[in-house]
Amino acid sequence: MSHNATPNTSRVELRKTLTLVPVVMMGLAYMQPMTLFDTFGIVSGMTDGHVPTAYAFALIAILFTALSYGKLVRRYPSAGSAYTYAQKSISPTVGFMVGWSSLLDYLFAPMINILLAKIYFEALVPSIPSWVFVIALVAFMTAFNLRSIKSVANFNTVIVVLQVVLIAVILGMVIYGVFEGEGAGTLASSRPFWSGDAHVIPMITGGDDPVLLVYRFRRHQQPV
């Protein structure tokens, strides 16, 4: 008597728990809006105030990238982001290289964030060794990321909201200072738009994060 085992052909999928707003918030969090204030002052001084052009060109580049991702995410609605798109639309070899490049980005970005956070905490509490802040921050972020994708999305939403509030406060203070006669009086000058730098890269790489999470969308949600 023979028994024919029925092969399990069911597709293994990630649980779809995210909606549009958390995915957008995670993309914004990865773009790190407050990074502008970490580098703008230093770079502005080094380039004699020629920074805005870099953001203008970065905007043009990321718009083409966003349009391309919008088409690809509908054609390949699966996890993997740039890795999947390059693998299926170009070749597996190119996809392999893109995947490893993306992995390096996801490894280096947290290192930069931890470094910047360490600098701030060290300035607030200089009596504590810097390695204590590094270990504490790494342990906290690792433990939080191991909980669930939904808790990470909620945490990122809070972080983005706080950053937007801080940016609004800083812009308000700048506008107030200009009307009070502070500054060099060159606010309307076109000179800053004729040069730039590459410190806007962190703002560009964040555009890859939402499409990486598109596979975690609930079924009734439309892809980005």
Whether 166 is in a domain gets the answer yes
Whether 53 is in a domain gets the answer yes
pLDDT of residue 106: 79
Cα gap 115→134, rounded to integer Å: 7
What's the Cα-to-Cα distance from 8 to each of 2, 11, 111, 136, rounded to whole Å?
A: 19, 9, 41, 44
Cα gap 200→221, rounded to integer Å: 31
| Structural domain range at position 96 | 20-102+148-180+195-215
Whether 129 is in a domain gets the answer no
For the chain, how many structural domains are there in total? 1
Least confident span in 106-110, 122-126, 210-214: 210-214
Query: 16-50, pLDDT tens digit by residue?
Result: 667 777 777 877 877 777 777 767 777 777 767 66
Whether 30 is in a domain gets the answer yes
Whether 170 is in a domain gets the answer yes
pLDDT of residue 196: 47
Whether 136 is in a domain gets the answer no
Whether 60 is in a domain gets the answer yes
Whether 110 is in a domain gets the answer no
Average pLDDT over residues 51-60: 77
